[in-house]
A and B are shown apart, each in its own frame.
Chain A
Amino acid sequence: MKIKLKVWRQKNAQDKGGFKTYNLDDVSEDMSFLEMFDVLNEDLVKKNEDPVHFDHDCREGICGMCSMYINGRPHGPKQTTTCQLHMRSFNDGDTITVEPWRAKAFPVVKDLVVDRMSFDKIIQSGGYVSVNTGGVPDANEIPIPKKIADEAFDAATCIGCGACVAACKNASAMLFVSAKVSQLAMLPQGQVERKTRAENMVATMDAEGFGACTNTGACSAECPKGISLENIARLNREFLSAKASSDNV
């Protein structure tokens, strides 16, 4: 396949950046999208040019590190991670535009690499159950209905890639936050801190500069793990009920 790539190049956070075009003549349809970039980068290095920097690690669709905005969609045309997108999803002769995630809370570091530490900060503000190592009850002490456990699991599959933020016109992090709040709100282990968790995580989300949610659903439609919009509805309920009967006395 022949592919024309229009790639965002930006030397560092201060640089203005701009698109640069590369022509690839020998792309195999079995390549993953990132392997195509590997080939391009080998070529650039041989020509003494700076390779295109992009985040990636596991290349199995689970670490959540890869983050390319491809033809106007996070992770490209399929509902998957960029590393699991294969060139057979494109046609010979296609022009493909590749940009970094675009969101105030995800500043560009270089080329396609962005800083997603704001997600870590949200988790740090409450995305856990406060139990120390040791001194916990036997794992089978509290039975959990399978349906509840499965639903909590669905929310827990979020990989923290940030596609939801990149897809949202307001760069809202509601899907990400709601996935964690939902997981722990559904499980008995999460009950003790249920209210403070919802309040604190939402407050951090706002403080980190993520936008408001207007329920367009782009986040869920683009989520590589298919995290459902129901979680956002649940977060809204959790947040309201926490505010109405706050434990923050």
Chain B
Amino acid sequence: MKLDSKIPEGPLSEKWSKHKFNVKLVNPANKRKYDIIVVGTGLAGASAAASFGELGYNVKAFCFQDSPRRAHSIAAQGGINAAKNYQNDGDSVFRLFYDTVKGGDYRSREGNVHRLAEVSVNIIDQCVAQGVPFAREYGGLLANRSFGGAQVSRTFYARGQTGQQLLLGAYSALSRQVANGKVKLHAREEMLDLVMVDGNARGIVTRNLITGKIESHSAHAVVLATGGYGNVFYLSTNAMGSNVTAAWRAHKKGAFMANPCFTQIHPTCIPVSGDHQSKLTLMSESLRNDGRVWVPKTKEDAEKIRKGQLKPTELAEDKRDYYLERKYPSFGNLVPRDVASRNAKEVCDEGRGVNATGLAVYLDFADAIERDGEDLISAKYGNLFDMYQQITGENPYKTPMKIYPAVHYTMGGLWVDYNLMTTIPGCYAIGEANFSDHGANRLGASALMQGLADGYFVLPYTIGDYLANVPYDKIPTDHEAFKKAEAEVKERIDKLLSINGSKTVDEFHKDLGHIMWEYCGMSRNEAGLKKAKAEIKKLKEDYWSNVKVIGSNEELNMSLEKANRVADFIELGELMIDDALNRSESCGGHFREESQTEEGEAKRKDDEFSYVAAWEYNGEGKEETLNKEDLVFENVKLTQRSYK
């Protein structure tokens, strides 16, 4: 299939304006004749649902949590980028565009990224108008910080809780539309299938998580704002409930999955403490602005530290290796996430890791505290330091923090065109759920920007272009397509409940996570990926013959919920491995050991791999077909990233 990205013609900076003029409009009086389903109520979903409601569409919003305010966007800490240039330090829409394309290691679309940079400024205005309490200077204007290796200060923030404040803003706009009767909320309801009629997305099948009732919902368009799939690794910084099911169901109905192997491993997380660990906690990247990353120079000292015979504070300066500052003198501790993560793995693989497991490096604030005083450091990072102390029992003001990389964000996702529509007409994907704007590596403070850009300022325009051609007629939920989808969902649930094997869902999930982390994690190679593929195939067979799920469908049954999700994660894992195998170059978060520079940095192969890999489902047990969308760069010059 030929993929049409629908990037508008013309100069980069005029594409979006022209496109906005060229898209079809739905007459204000006719908008009420259209129903839109929005699945997920994070930044992208809540902002889209609210904006649709304001425009006059009828919206049904779904979330599996007990309230839309719980969506995992709430946990984003650091900030949100916008090309406001309030700091007069040389920022511009073009610079934000350029940084984002470069940061993504040239694997994203110029057109999309430029649009993102353009609307970034509107997001900040919108959020402030909603009452989002961003950090301010004494003069009353908004404060900014430099973040994630950016050379300008363009990040807006609300202490270490930016995601929370932005989500509560979007949630408040959504709540207003609920009160106005334009949005109907369906909390604790999980999408289990996409329903298509005549090749178009026309609804979804859900399970009411309290009663177990399988229900159909009909609409003229379906928007998936269901987040990323980092939990395929079992341990990640995602919420416990974050899952790929909605996106995967759409994939199996014909939506292509793009670049699934592009996952971001975040360098600053609290290290694993034991087998009971259920999730990993991120410490905001902003900590690297003041913290210095190091490990002991020698294995012997590292071993003494691991055994508790030596305290890190006792180790002399000249026996420490501040490896990021040593290897990357101009960026130092602020190198992009993928570089920082890989280097941490490298020093730990050398045997210089520091906690009992040997899988941790130090993030040291001693110098910053001496320079700025404890009060200032506490004002900047107090809540993060407290969180660290609560989890680890150690005081980071007195002894260096220990950190290790963890899975954090997935750049891959459902393939979408410039209008954010998947390869299924009428089915859209926004926010982290689509593959879109981050290429092979997302820059800090860009996820919040993209989620809100899609929801507030892109999709409300582009969805009209599709709806304008859709007849007003509603498809009743007793249509055979709905009945068939319901029957399939029920059959799958019955199957899961009837196996009654000997291994729990969590045990399978841990096994899957182990395979993915080992072979498809921070660095990948052909032999490992092939091995992983065979192991996942075995795991899948075992799952469907030996999983143990307790209870019945007709009740709140959290092990059944998990069983449904893990089944999809296993299939996704297999596709991620296919994708990682196919892409024998290194780029951004995807590091193939076979493709590195002499200095051990990621080496792209632009002539071979300058494309989006969009995978097409062919049916149970069959290999997926690879479709390529070539990436064209007219405004940036492709260079090897260097942070030396």
Contact = CB atoms under 8 A, between A and B. Distances in A.
A57 B565 CA distance: 15
Given A128-B172, A137-B129, A140-B141, A55 B66 contact: yes
Contact of B556 (A109, A127, A132, A189): A109
A64 B51 CA distance: 25
Given A62-B74, A80-B390, A156-B168, A144 B279 contact: no
Contact of A63 (B70, B550, B556): B70
Given A157-B161, A157-B164, A84 B555 contact: no
Contact of B555 (A12, A64, A129, A138): A12
B588 interface: no
A133 B54 contact: yes
Contacts of A143: 136, 139-141
B176 A149 contact: no
Nearest to B47: A133
A65 B240 CA distance: 11
B159 A38 contact: no
A245 interface: no
Interface string B45-58: 00100110010000
A86 B74 contact: no
A133 B141 contact: no
A4 to B, nearest CB: 18
A21 B15 CA distance: 65
A134 B126 contact: yes
Q: Which of B66, B140, B456, B504 neighbours the largest number of chain A CB atoms within 10 Å of its CB?
A: B66
Interface in A99-148: 109-110, 113, 115-117, 119-120, 123-125, 127-134, 136-140, 142-146
B513 to A, nearest CB: 14
A28 B275 CA distance: 10
Contacts of B187: 117, 120
B152 interface: no
Nearest to B452: A133
Contacts of B47: 133
Interface in B449-473: 456-457, 460
A130 B460 contact: no
Interface string A9-32: 001100000000000000010111
A196 to B, nearest CB: 12
B527 interface: no
Contact of A35 (B165, B277, B390): B277
A116 B274 CA distance: 33
Given A30-B274, A156-B168, A46 B548 contact: yes
B278 interface: yes
Interface string B232-243: 000001011100
A189 B129 contact: yes
B75 A86 contact: no
A113 B556 contact: yes
B283 to A, nearest CB: 10
A153 B158 contact: yes
Contacts of A142: 128
B128 A35 contact: no
Given A12-B555, A31-B276, A35-B277, A120 B185 contact: yes
A152 interface: yes
B315 interface: no
A30 B278 contact: no
A116 B558 CA distance: 18
A133 B53 CA distance: 10
A78 B386 CA distance: 13
A247 interface: no
B70 A57 contact: yes
A31 B273 CA distance: 8
A153 B555 CA distance: 39
Contact-size category for A: 35 or more
B619 interface: no
Contacts of B210: 109
A44 B506 CA distance: 13
B508 to A, nearest CB: 12
Contacts of A88: 393
Contacts of A187: 131, 133
A85 B336 CA distance: 32
B424 interface: no
B392 to A, nearest CB: 8
B324 interface: no
B61 to A, nearest CB: 12
A164 B274 CA distance: 33
Contact of A133 (B50, B69, B239, B548): B50
Contacts of A113: 556
A35 B272 CA distance: 13
Contacts of B314: none
Contact of A62 (B50, B161, B551): B161
B200 interface: no
A39 B176 contact: no
B137 A146 contact: yes
A92 to B, nearest CB: 16
B67 A59 contact: no
Given A86-B391, A132-B54, A153-B158, A35 B278 contact: yes
Interface in B241-298: 241, 273-274, 276-279, 281-282
A62 B559 contact: no
B557 to A, nearest CB: 8
A109 B555 CA distance: 10
B161 A51 contact: no
B239 A58 contact: yes
A53 interface: yes
B100 interface: no
B462 to A, nearest CB: 14
Contacts of A53: 556, 558
A124 B126 contact: no
A158 B145 CA distance: 24
B125 interface: yes
B153 to A, nearest CB: 14
A61 interface: yes
Contacts of B239: 57-59, 63
A115 B208 CA distance: 14
Interface string B98-136: 000000000000000000000000101111111101111
A119 B70 CA distance: 12
B119 to A, nearest CB: 10
B173 interface: yes
Given A38-B276, A124-B179, A184 B131 contact: yes
B173 A120 contact: no
Contacts of A78: 390
A45 interface: yes
Given A38-B276, A127-B172, 18 more contacts: A57-B240, A59-B278, A63-B71, A63-B74, A78-B390, A86-B391, A123-B175, A128-B173, A130-B176, A132-B54, A133-B50, A133-B456, A136-B125, A139-B124, A143-B139, A143-B141, A183-B131, A183-B133
16 contacts: A45-B550, A51-B558, A53-B558, A57-B72, A57-B240, A62-B75, A78-B390, A124-B176, A129-B129, A133-B54, A134-B456, A139-B128, A140-B142, A152-B131, A156-B165, A156-B168
**5 nearest CB pairs, A to B:** A143-B140, A128-B172, A136-B129, A153-B133, A139-B128
